[in-house]
């Protein structure tokens, strides 16, 4: 039996840096809780505790390789899809649930194929046709369009967008290069969310979209995008083949794309009349509350980087 390949040193070094930041954040949160005890301090500590779990899980999957990453995101998409359906707890035929669950899994099969056509068209085009046909027989006449839009949008967000993360791992010249691109994307998306939250809480100011997300501000958006741009430029030489200008463009793209994904999911939750998509991640809400930015940044980043790299 051949030994498992050694993890890429770039992955190990970057993950060690992330764990170091979490240690600092944990100590700072404990100090803040002693200085100003209360609900705000408890929320921060709970968020950081959940970040530990997220980083440990993601780090372990990246170190295990592309296959583990694909299986992990397939399971995440299934859970996120179930969470999305729960936002509208209406009765759906078992056949429709089976078709959609099968579509989630098939999308992760197609991404492993060298030819990208099925991966790119299966959900946006293929499932639109399938769902339109099935819904014609199963949906009540007055709910046809609403039900079709709900199911199709759910598959696009929870599966099509997220499946670009393991697909990105196949874009590098070597498996290590591809996994480094994934780590780069996930780090920038996560730090963008945190930076926008911290800048918004620190500076406050005019609200960005009060009807969708009353707590988001222009200062949070601009501060988060600027922070993400600097981080993208700093990490690019270690994790990517991008030039400094391309890295800066990536930071801008992820900063704005992450904010847009967050607002889009906020609109969905507003329509459903809930403040969070679930309770799977203490301090954060549901899976979709944490993954909403990644559903937008993953396809934007993968296709932009593929174009820049000429692959």
What global pTM score does this model have? 0.92
* Higher per-residue confidence, 286 vs 71: 71
Res 93: pLDDT = 73
Domain boundaries along the sequence of the chain? 8-64, 66-309
* Higher per-residue confidence, 310 vs 135: 135
Under a CB-based contact definition with an 8 Å cutoff, are residues 129 and 184 in contact?
A: no
pLDDT surpasses 50 at 1: no
pLDDT band with cut points at 50, 70 and 90 for residue 179: very high
> How confident is the model over 64-89, as a mean pLDDT?
91
pLDDT band with cut points at 50, 70 and 90 for residue 7: confident
Report how far residue 243's alpha carbon sits from residue 289's, in angstroms, rounded to the nearest whole number. Answer: 32
* Higher per-residue confidence, 118 vs 214: 118
Output the CA–CA distances (angstroms, integers) from residue 234 to 91, 189, 240, 254, 303, in the order listed: 49, 15, 11, 15, 21
Output the CA–CA distances (angstroms, integers) from residue 175 to 167, 182, 273, in the order listed: 11, 11, 43
Which of helix, strand or coil describes residue 174? coil
Output the CA–CA distances (angstroms, integers) from residue 136 to 92, 98, 125, in the order listed: 13, 17, 17
CB atoms < 10 A from the CB of 173, how many?
Answer: 10
> How confident is the model over 166-194, as a mean pLDDT?
91
Under a CB-based contact definition with an 8 Å cutoff, are residues 232 and 187 in contact?
A: no
Q: What is the pLDDT of residues 236-264, one digit of tens each?
A: 999 999 999 999 999 999 999 999 998 88
Res 94: pLDDT = 78
Length of the chain: 311
pLDDT band with cut points at 50, 70 and 90 for residue 39: low
């Amino acid at each position: 039996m051949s030994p498992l390949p050694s993890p890429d040193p770039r992955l190990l070094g970057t993950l060690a840096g992330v764990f170091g930041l979490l240690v600092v954040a944990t100590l700072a949160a404990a100090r803040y809780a002693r200085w100003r005890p209360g609900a705000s301090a408890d929320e921060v500590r709970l968020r950081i505790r959940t970040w530990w779990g997220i980083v440990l899980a993601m780090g372990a999957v990246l170190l295990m390789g592309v296959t583990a990453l694909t299986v992990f995101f397939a399971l995440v998409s299934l859970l996120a899809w179930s969470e999305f359906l729960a936002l509208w707890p209406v009765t759906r035929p078992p056949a429709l649930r089976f078709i959609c669950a099968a579509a989630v899994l098939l999308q992760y099969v197609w991404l492993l194929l060298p030819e990208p056509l099925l991966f790119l068209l299966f959900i946006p085009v293929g499932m639109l046709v399938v769902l339109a046909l099935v819904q014609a027989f199963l949906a009540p006449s007055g709910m046809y369009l609403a039900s079709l839009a709900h199911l199709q949008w759910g598959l696009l967000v929870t599966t099509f967008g997220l499946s670009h993360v393991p697909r990105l791992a196949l874009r590098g010249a070597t498996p290590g290069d591809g996994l480094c691109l994934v780590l780069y994307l996930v780090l920038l998306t996560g730090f963008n969310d945190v930076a926008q939250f911290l800048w918004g809480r620190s500076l406050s100011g005019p609200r960005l979209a009060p009807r969708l997300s009353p707590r988001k501000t222009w200062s949070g958006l601009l501060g988060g995008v600027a922070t993400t741009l600097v981080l993208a430029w700093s990490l690019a030489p270690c994790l990517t083949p991008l030039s400094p200008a391309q890295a800066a463009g990536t930071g801008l793209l992820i900063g704005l794309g992450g904010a847009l994904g967050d607002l889009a999911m906020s609109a969905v939750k507003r329509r459903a009349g809930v403040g969070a998509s679930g309770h799977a991640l203490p301090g954060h809400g549901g899976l979709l509350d944490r993954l909403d930015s990644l559903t937008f940044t993953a396809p934007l980043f993968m296709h932009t980087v593929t174009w820049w790299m000429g692959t």
